[in-house]
Amino acid sequence: MFLVWIILLPLLGAALSPLAAQRGRGVAAWSAGSASGLALALTLWQALPLTADSEAHISWSWIPQLGLNLSLRLDGLALLFVILVLAIGLLVILYAHYYLPKSDRLGRFYALLLLFQTAMLGIVLSDNLLLLLLFWELTSLSSFLLIAYHPHSSEARKGARTSLIVTAAGGLALMAGLLLLGHIAGSFELSTVLASGDRVREHELYFPTLLLILLGAFTKSAQFPLHFWLPKAMAAPTPVSAYLHSATMVKAGVFLLARLFPVLAETEAWFYLVGGVGLTTLLFGAYTALFKHDLKGLLAYSTISHLGLITLLFGLGTPLGAVAGLFHVVNHAIFKASLFMAAGIIDHETGTRDMRRINGLWKYMPYTATLAMVAAAAMAGVPLLNGFLSKEMFFAETVHHEWLGALDWLLPTAATLAGVFSVAYSVRFIHDVFFNGEPINLPRSPREPGHRIRIPVEVLVALCIVVGVMPGQTVRGLLDAAVTGVLGEVPYYSLALWHGFSLPMLMSLVALTGGVVVYVLRYQLFKLHDRWLPRVSSEDLFYRFSRGILRLARRFMQSFDNRSLQRYLAWLIAVAAITAAAPLTNGVILHGGADLMPIDGVSLAAALILAVAAIATVRMRHQRITALIMTSLVGLIVTLTFVHFSAPDLALTQLSVEVVTTILLLLVLYFLPGGERLEISPLRRVRDLLLAGSSGLVVALLAFGVMTRSHTPISEFFLENAKPLGGGSNVVNVILVDFRGFDTLGEITVLAIAAAGIFMLLRGLHLPLPEHGFGRRQWAVDVHPLIMAAVSRPLLPLALLVSLFLLLRGHNAPGGGFIAGLVAGTALILQHLASGLQWTQQRMKRRYFTLIGGGVLLASATGLASLLFGRPFLTSAVLHLELPLIGEVELASAMAFDIGVFLTVVGTVILILENLGRLSTQQSAQPPTEPEEMR
Amino acid sequence: MLIEILVSLFLLIGAGFALIGSIGLVRLPDFFTRLHGPTKATTLGIGGMLIASMIYFSVQTGQLSLHELLVALFLFMTAPVSAHLLAKAALHLKVRSIRPYPVESENREGR
């Protein structure tokens, strides 16, 4: 059970952070820190010492059809990474509290950081491939948000975008790879997959699987040539760089290599792919880092190089290679996080990260300088520090490796060369920043920072030394456990400082001296580099590629999406008509055999009026108001048709909808520009005529076909069961709130979303009041006539009473939440029209969000309540009540649902009205006249 | 029998007024006079029909039917307002009138 808590605690912390931040930065840091700290304490308490018995495992099935289970496992490998993620996370939380400016409340920062931590813990603890993938994507997303922490900086946005595109694309490849892997192994449970290594390696799909999974791992771990997002991600605040882009997230790819090592490794393809990419990245990163003048840029490329080193170690495919790889994961996290933090302090104190300007800081901040120098020495692989140990193991592995045959010398040579550059950039970091003359033109005068910000650096640097001097007593146990997690056993290896004079020792010496020499000669190298190295980089290629894709997509979109509403509608109607007409073409007999109803005078008249009104709308399109009246005439006739065929519910709904939409449309039309009429080309006129005519014809034919068929309609069921099952005799309403309650819930949710969309669209939009009305007429002087204002006020309570009546009786007689909501909305609209926006708003606070949100929540809560009684979602319960005056009320739970619908509709109507009405009021030359107060 | 006569009578009165109103709407010479048709006559016409409905349903169901009073109330409240608004709009638009417009009306209502 504690496994769940390890993941949940940071998540809880993430949720609490914004709340804690309201009480101050310190509280935010404490809450975030205690979330991480508790999780860490829990891990250590439960899992140490780790034996085969203390391996924890839990599993719940989630979507068994997909093989997706909530399975978590804590083995040695996971334990190593969990401790890494939580411990460094704790230090970064502390560091960020002092690093980020005082004006930052830190709520958002800690929430995102802890979200990332959750995702990272999820990756390492997942015992299900699909679950792992889920957390994998979550790290990409939270990393995106963290890099773009300062969204106003275009560099940060670009960096965030690049990293998201690259890592998410890798995530897609990984998904494909993991699906293949699960398919081959027959299960997505990691324990099963790990056990079927031979089967996987012999499968014909092994190679594509390997390739796809590696693509995912390499993008995450910034391997060449997909490394370029990492330097871009340095636009993130330094605590983020220290945490995500050196210590943890980039290690996720390496973790995946380690996790799947038993399944995928020890083949030739693995060696060449992983080893080759790792080696290239190692050399490329080490070489490029030397030429970076940006402090964080240097560290970023150095990180890439070290990740390449770890990848190479896993790529060798030997047990000792895996040991060295895991060891280096820990060491690198320790010294690189401290280096990033030191770089952050320097950036903070000097105001720049350009190493050509930052010089001689030793005089100003000797203490920080010492810390940074120790960490940089660890990075260079100086003896007595932790970096030295894993680098020695690395050199030893390259020497002992026998796979390349005659080219066996290549690997040690390349490793030594990388070591030389690694030492060179470390020396540059130390010498350029802390010595090398005086600072040049710094924005700020540097001095020693407050001692608290240095605590995390001190802790990490102390670890560098302790691990470097006493590896056996400190990390051995954890490393053994992790190695067991990967290999299933612990191969013999030695962590001693001194192995006697050996080839690896010599390589270390060569690297150290060579590095210093390269650094001394650096200016010549810079010149050569600038002159000879081609400027083409994978980054440029990537941008050219993504721009090309965007251009292609845009061209494709423009061919049918030209932002013309007419065009959209034409497509929509044409497709709908063709799809609907398709069944008619293959000889279906339209007439279903039922007797036709006699044509009566009323129907004929209604049809005629409908046709005339439709044609009139088209003819009068230039006089918008008249055209609108014509369309509302259509609506009115439809309402009457419903009445004629005894559908009071529909008639009521149609009527109220018609009223509301007409008034709201009037408000909108008011702002449309007048002026010249646009002539429509004859060709388009023909197209529109054809479209309208044919779609109308198709609908008519289909309706005819359906209505002349004498099948048993579904309505029989509703008619029979409305009372016994739904507890109401108004079938229409019972369908809405019970049988199809889920639909209705969806619809009001959509309504609420649409309302939010309208609000956002109109927010901050101010349109000038048109100077003239239609036809260059002056506006009326008397905006709110007294008689209307006077009469509308007593009308409001009456209309609300009607609305309440409709709502309460809705379950058994015509009415219901939707109609009642529209009626109430109409009554409120009337107040706006009669007395003006300001008058109404003074008396009615803007509560529409409460109304809308409350409505949707109430409806959802009603649905959820049935779960409490062990029934499916939205099961209704019925209670009969006798209320005075209103009569018998079925107090069905559907009533609460209906009230939810009611509230949402009312809120939406008011929201639209107020926001449309508000558009011109702020800027109008003459404020709308207030009706005289009636006494 | 008496009830039937009574109901028919009120129905006829109502229908008659409605008819007269409709004829007025078509026949009268300008907007302002035409406005009288639907507002005055039709209001009375519907009033008659509502009384007929009240009598009929009260007898038919044995309970006093009072819905129609509500209908009448709403109608009497709203019909004058819409007539007033229509008239004001027409004044503002200066639609054709058989009488000249009163001169000072606009100024009186202005601020």
How many Cβ atoms sit within 10 Å of the Cβ of residue A132? 24
Among A224-233, A382-391, A722-731, B86-95, the least confident range: A722-731
CB–CB of A788 and B84 under 8 A? yes
CA distance A438 to A302: 26
Per-residue pLDDT, averaged over A443-454, amounts to: 84
**Strand A880-883 relative to strand A68-74, pairing:** unpaired
**Other Cβ atoms within 10 Å of A445 Cβ, number:** 10
CB–CB contact B81 A787 (8 Å):
yes
Angle, alpha carbons A797-A802-A803 (nearest 5°): 95
- The string of pLDDT tens digits covering residues A351-361 is 888 888 888 88
Q: Is the pLDDT of residue A498 over 90?
A: no
- How far apart CA A564 and CA A582 sit, in angstroms, is 27
More confident call, A403 vs A622: A622
Query: CB within 8 A of A429, min separation 6: which ones?
Result: A295, A298, A299, A339, A355, A372, A376, A379
Residue A311 has pLDDT above 80, yes or no: yes
Using one digit for the tens of pLDDT, what is the confidence trace for A67-119? 888 999 988 899 999 999 999 999 999 999 999 988 888 899 999 999 999 99
Q: Give, to the nearest 10 degrees, the angle between helix A786-809 and helix B67-93.
A: 140
Of the pLDDT bands very low, low, confident and very high (cuts 50, 70, 90), residue A535 is: low
A801 touches chain B (CB under 8 A): no
User: Tell me, what's the pLDDT at A49?
Assistant: 67
Chain A CB contacts of B84 below 8 Å: 785, 787-788
- Torsion of Cα atoms, A422 then A426 then A431 then A434, to 10°: 170
| pLDDT computed for residue B104 by the predictor | 54
Burial profile B22-55: b = 16 or more Cβ within 10 angstroms, e = fewer: eebbeeeeebbebbebbbbbbbbbbbbbbbbbbb
Query: Cα B74–B78–B80 angle (5° rounding)?
Result: 130
Query: Which residue matches tokens 């992790």?
Result: A482
Query: What was the pLDDT predicted at B111?
Result: 39
Q: Are the Cβ atoms of B77 and A929 closer than 8 angstroms?
A: no
Average pLDDT (A41-65) is 79
Query: How do residues A326-344 score in pLDDT, each as one tens digit?
Result: 999 999 999 999 999 999 9
**Which H or E run contains A424?**
helix A410-434
Residue recorded with tokens 């390696």: A201
Evaluate the omega torsion of the peptide bond into residue A598 and state whether it is cis, within 30 degrees of 0.
no
Any A CB within 8 A of B106 CB: yes
Q: Would you say residue A719 has pLDDT above 60?
A: yes
Q: What residues in B contact A777, CB-CB < 8 Å? A: 92-93
pLDDT digit string (tens) for A759-802?
A: 998 888 877 776 666 666 677 777 788 888 888 888 889 889 98
Question: What is the residue extent of each domain of chain B?
Answer: 2-109
Most confident by average pLDDT, A372-386, A396-410, A593-607: A372-386
- What is the arithmetic mean of pLDDT over A19-47? 90
pLDDT tens figures, A463-472: 999 999 888 8
Pairwise CB contact (< 8 Å): B88 & A780: yes
Token pair of A512 as six digits = 């150290």
Quote the pLDDT of residue A175: 95
Residue A926 Cα distances to A923, A929, A933, angstroms:
8, 8, 19
CB of A657 within 8 Å of any CB in chain B? no
Of residues A35, A37, A87, A32, the one with CA closest to residue A460: A87
Whether A298 has a pLDDT exceeding 80, the answer reads yes
pLDDT value at position A53? Answer: 57
- Interface ipTM > 0.85: no
* pLDDT attached to residue A781: 72
Least confident of A148-157, A254-263, A386-395, A563-572: A563-572
A837 against A87, higher pLDDT: A87
Q: What pairing do the DSSP bridges indicate for beta strands A880-883 and A887-890? A: antiparallel
DSSP secondary structure code for residue A129 in this structure: H
B78–A795: do the CB atoms touch at under 8 Å?
yes
Name the maximum alpha-carbon separation found in chain B. Answer: 61
pLDDT at A929: 45
pLDDT of residue A403: 65
CA proximity to A6, closest of A47, A63, A52:
A47
Taking an 8 Å cut-off on Cβ atoms, the answer to whether B77 and A791 are in contact is yes
Measured CA to CA in angstroms, residue A27 lies from A32, A97, A184, A454, A705 at distances of: 8, 10, 50, 20, 70
Closest approach of A614 to chain B, Cα-based (Å): 23
Supply B82's token pair: 């819409």
A219 near A233, Cβ under 8 Å? no
Contact status of A773 with chain B (Cβ, < 8 Å):
no
3-state secondary structure A181-231: HHHHHCCCEHHHHHHCHHHHHHCCCHHHHHHHHHHHHHHHCCCCCCCCHHH
**Pick from B80, B84, B109: which is nearest to A781 by CB?**
B109
Mapping DSSP to helix (H, G, I), strand (E, B) and coil, where does residue A719 land?
Answer: helix
Name, in order, each residue with C-beta under 8 angstroms of A716's C-beta and a sequence gap of 6 or more. Answer: none
pTM here is 0.69
Which range has the worst mean pLDDT, A12-16, A563-567, A895-899? A563-567
Which residue did the predictor score with more confidence, B78 or A277?
Answer: A277
Residue with tokens 């009445």: A643
The 10s digit of each residue's pLDDT in A866-876 is 777 777 776 76
More confidently predicted of A659 and B102: A659
pLDDT average, residue stretch A440-457: 85
In sign, the C-alpha dihedral spanning A399, A400, A403, A405 is positive
Set of chain B residues whose Cβ sits within 8 Å of the Cβ of A648: none
| Whether B63 contacts chain A with CB within 8 A | no
pLDDT digits (tens, 9 = 90+) for A884-909: 665 666 566 778 888 999 999 999 98
Q: What percentage of chain A reaches a pLDDT higher than 90?
A: 34
Residue A501: the pLDDT is 75
**Which residue would you say has higher pLDDT here, B93 or B40?**
B93
What's chain A's length in residues? 935
Helix (H) or strand (E) holding A148, with range, is none
Contacts of B78 in chain A (CB under 8 A): 791, 795
Residue A642 phi/psi, 5-degree rounding, is -60, -40
Q: What end-to-end distance do the CA atoms of chain A give, in Å?
A: 71
The pLDDT assigned to A127 comes to 92
What is the distance of C-alpha A887 from the center of its chain?
51
Q: Are A924 and A843 in contact (CB under 8 A)?
A: no
